[in-house]
Structure 1
Amino acid sequence: MSNEQAVARFSNPAPLGLAGFALTTWLLSMINAGWFTGDAMNMVLAVAMAYGGTAQIIAGIMELPRGNTFGTTAFVSYGAFWWSFALFVLFLHDKVPGAFVGWYLFMWGVFTFYMWLGTLRAARALQLIFLALWITFFLLAAGEWTGMAGLHTAGGYVGLLTALLAFYLSAAEIINDGHKRVVLPVGAPS
């Protein structure tokens, strides 16, 4: 059996991973943007562990037999991000200085920046997700370092945009596959 035939036996895990990422990012970004207070964080944590974390890691593992290094790296990494975020908020948030939290967010921004570079020959929708996400991380990191609430709020709004883009690509992959034609365009690869 050829590699293409083997890959054809596996479903595309990207819509699952993108949806898990999008939903969790949307919920947290609503808090970051100031739409809700930190009292809503418990719902974010539950979704971060179950959908943003676990479902993305499953999607990343499903990318392995497909030979998709980018998909594996992205989904497993951001799934682990959500788990680390949930564990931090639940157990460690009062034990870590804000400046160090800024470094945590900044380094996720660095990772996301080079992942964005990896999308430059992919569909435009994927490029836009990673572009918006690294801007989100950098705004949130700058907010932690400076204490400027406006940067944190801006990071929340760019996070909302990131989530919408990820929902769109997830929907496009599901709907286009179901209709066996392009219903929702994702932008041709470069």
Structure 2
Amino acid sequence: MELIHAFGGTLNPGLAPAPSRKFANPAPLGLCAFGLTTFVLCMANVQARGVTNPSVVIGCAYFYGGFIQLCAGMWEMVLENTFGATALSSFGGFWLAFAAIETDAFGIVSAYGDDINGLNNMLAFFLIAWFIFTFGLVLCTLRSTVAFFLLFFTLDMAFLLLGIGHLYPTDAGAPNVGVTKAGGVFGLLSAFFAWYNAFAGLATKENSLITVRPIPMPWNLGYKATKTKSG
């Protein structure tokens, strides 16, 4: 018996029904775009090898995490996957917005001048808003797979901690290092879970010696039905 899940489409490997149209699955592309861009940024957040300037991620944020992920989200619309379209398109928009904030030509940061406190507060509000949005997505993964739930849960924690880091900066006005590093760790976990889910959607018996078997959440309706039938 096929496992039943809480939303349609193919973003959640192994639990989704076949789409009514013959198109390739865009979810792995969107997940890879998200995972790679998140990984690059969070390596700076955790200050790996002493790096504190994340400017290199701006290119990824515009073209891979932003544009490509936004395209993948729109293609999820074609596959009748409301959740996939909402999640991938929204986070594509997040990366484009992040890149705009970090781009001097937009004048967003310079608009605050010497008001470092105001800038930190607004960046905190920006991140906390994404924490609230992602929390809603977390609730929509409670009956999916363990890896899929952990992807959004760790991302949600990353947004929360990074937001708190800006709410309680140092005396010099820099984000709180300890909290930001903790947020970076959760971001790195989220990146790897994104890659894991992408691999689950890409790897088949025809193209890979290694495939991923989805592990459903214990309260997944299809999982419960299968256990009841087998028992």
Shared fold, TM over 0.5:
yes
**Equivalent in the alignment of 2:137:** 115
Corresponding residue for residue 9 of structure 1: 22
Superposition pairs for residues 14-163 of structure 1, below 5 Å?
A: 14-35=27-48, 36-38=51-53, 40-41=54-55, 43-90=56-103, 91=106, 92-96=108-112, 97-147=119-169, 148-163=176-191
Deviations, residues 136-164 of structure 1 (Å, cap 9, x unaligned): 00000000001121001110111111101
Shift of 1:37: 2.1
Alignment partner of 2:153: what SS? helix
> Cα distance 1:16–1:114, how it changes in 2: closer, same or farther (>3 A)?
same
Tell me if the contact between 1:169 and 1:186 (Cα under 8 Å) persists in the aligned partners: no
SS at match of 1:11: coil
Identity fraction in percent:
36
Q: Which 4+ residue blocks in structure 1 deviate beyond 4 angstroms?
A: 177-182
Q: Which amino acid aligns with 1:28?
A: L
Question: Secondary structure of 1:150's partner?
Answer: helix
- What is the deviation of 1:172? 1.5
- Report which of the two structures shows the higher radius of gyration computed on alpha carbons: 2
**Structure 2: how far apart are the matches of 1:50 and 1:177?**
31
Q: Secondary structure at the match of 1:7?
A: coil
| Cα 1:95/1:127, change in 2 over 3 Å | same
Cα gap change, 1:177/1:159 in structure 2, threshold over 3 Å: closer, same or farther?
farther
Take 1:49 and 1:121, find their aligned partners in 2: how far apart are those partners?
32
- The letter of the residue matching 2:128 is F
Count how many residue pairs are aligned between Structure 1 and Structure 2. 185
Is the CA contact 2:19–2:80 (under 8 Å) kept in the aligned structure 1?
no
Identify unmatched segments of 5+ residues in structure 2. 1-16, 113-118, 170-175, 221-231
Measured on the aligned residues, the alpha-carbon RMSD in Å equals 2.0
Q: Unpaired runs of 5+ in structure 1?
A: none
Under a length normalisation based on structure 2, what TM-score does the superposition of the two structures give?
0.75
CA distance in 1, matches of 2:41, 2:100: 15
